[in-house]
Amino acid sequence: MTENTALWLNAKRADFTVAPAPYNEPLAGEILVRVRAIAVNPMDRLIQSVGDLMTPWIAYPFVAGSDVAGEVVAIGQGVTRFAIGDRVLGYAAGADKGHRAAEGAFQAYVVLKDYMSSPMPDHLSFEAGAVLPLALSTAASGLFEQDLLALDHPSAAPRAKGKTLLIWGGSTSVGSNAIQLAVAAGYDVITTSSPRNFGYVTGLGARQAFDYNSKSVIADVINALRGRNLAGALAVGQGSAGKCITILGACEGNRFVAMANPPASFDNVPAGKGRLWHLAPTMARVIVGGIATAFQARRNGVKTKMIWGSALLNSDVGPMIFDGFLPRALAEGRFVASPQPIVVGQGLGLIAEALARQLAGVSAAKLVVTL
């Protein structure tokens, strides 16, 4: 019998532990994937420290992780898109409501929904493929879900819409994917990043990039958008929502900001000792920041809404991206796996190190562990 191993969270705020895991056969509409590469995300460590607040539905013991790439080893009933041996990347939905530990990415064999998986072309490495799923899903949810920006869908031959989308934080994982998706849908993109990443974001398709640390950045972006019809804004990064609200309030078009981050970061909240000491002021900042953002948006005639990165699991956006758009776009080179992977090492035991390095900060890159 095939053996499986996983990186477990055995209880709320527990340490990650490598231990045996069940080998799960896929159910109808699912595939079983032998994992070759895993990317880490901020949500993976936040589930450990504040998961009881952010994802209270999780049942322990639990397997975290969202980003995987590997090879199909079994196929569930009704699946026709994949064959055993196919190289795939996919979004692992274990942390989402109604899903199970078998669907968490941090294990040797993971169950994926077939409509949240994409075949990988031969030229794309497992490490590069693994950077895509969650960032791509978050970007797609913000851009295409009907209760968010509701943009037209991407295609192989997009028609110019005559509208401009503002993406604050273009060199982030979410921003990198959002730029490409918006351009593939026919929208003009203006973005922000550090100057060292200007070439990177314009290479992904942004028409113009601005230094988000510049004191004049808000005025500069407003001037660049003058006379243009706005498609809205996607705000990535702490403090980005307020800046986007100010900009959209001075421009014409769709005054809607899809927000990828809460008003305050939970990064300084530990899972163990000192948790409440840090959690209380963080929660206060989130509440006060949320109220301030709502008032600012109202004053500027702007609507806002938070993005939940897996919203496309339960809409037509998921299959539109992972089945209808991504496979061909990757194969033809019209969509590139971004940002670049940085391999921390091999083995589930290195995921904790990757999460610690991520907390310290990376730029225009994503940390990956191979198996």
Written in H, E and C, the secondary structure of 322-348 is: HHHHHHHHHHCCCCCCCCEEEEEEECH
Tokens coding 225:
């958008």
Nearest CA to 283 among 12, 42, 49, 15?
49
**DSSP 8-state symbol, 145:** S
Residue whose tokens read 């994409």:
118
What local confidence, expressed as pLDDT, does residue 1 receive? 66
Whether residue 129 contacts residue 120, with contact meaning beta carbons closer than 8 Å, is answered with yes
What local confidence, expressed as pLDDT, does residue 282 receive? 87
First to last CA, the chain: 19
Nearest CA to 302 among 180, 172, 188, 166?
166
What local confidence, expressed as pLDDT, does residue 242 receive? 96
Residue 273, pLDDT > 80, answer no
Q: What's the pTM value of the predicted model, to 2 decimals?
A: 0.95
What local confidence, expressed as pLDDT, does residue 137 receive? 97
Digit-coded pLDDT (tens) for 2-20: 899 999 999 888 889 999 9
Whether residue 12 contacts residue 47, with contact meaning beta carbons closer than 8 Å, is answered with no
User: What is the rounded CA–CA span in Å between residue 95 and residue 309?
Assistant: 11
Residue whose tokens read 């699946």:
79
Q: Is CATH 2.60.120.1060 the classification given to domain 4-132+337-370?
A: no
What local confidence, expressed as pLDDT, does residue 55 receive? 87
Residue ranges of the domains in the chain? 4-132+337-370, 136-306
User: What is the rounded CA–CA span in Å between residue 131 and residue 339?
Assistant: 7
Kindly tell me the burial class for residue 239, based on how many C-beta atoms sit within 10 Å of its own C-beta (0-12, 13-18, 19 or more): middle
User: What is the rounded CA–CA span in Å between residue 370 and residue 156?
Assistant: 32
**DSSP 8-state symbol, 107:** B
User: What is the rounded CA–CA span in Å between residue 56 and residue 168?
Assistant: 30
State the maximum Cα–Cα separation within the chain, in Å, rounded to a whole number: 65
Kindly tell me the burial class for residue 218, based on how many C-beta atoms sit within 10 Å of its own C-beta (0-12, 13-18, 19 or more): middle
What local confidence, expressed as pLDDT, does residue 271 receive? 79
Digit-coded pLDDT (tens) for 59-104: 899 999 999 999 999 999 999 999 999 999 999 999 998 888 999 9
Digit-coded pLDDT (tens) for 337-347: 999 999 999 99
Question: What value does the mean pLDDT of the chain take?
Answer: 94
Tokens coding 67:
């980003």
Q: What fold characterizes domain 136-306?
A: Rossmann fold (3.40.50)
User: What is the rounded CA–CA span in Å between residue 76 and residue 300?
Assistant: 50
Digit-coded pLDDT (tens) for 47-60: 888 887 888 899 89
**Which three-class secondary structure state does DSSP give residue 292?**
helix
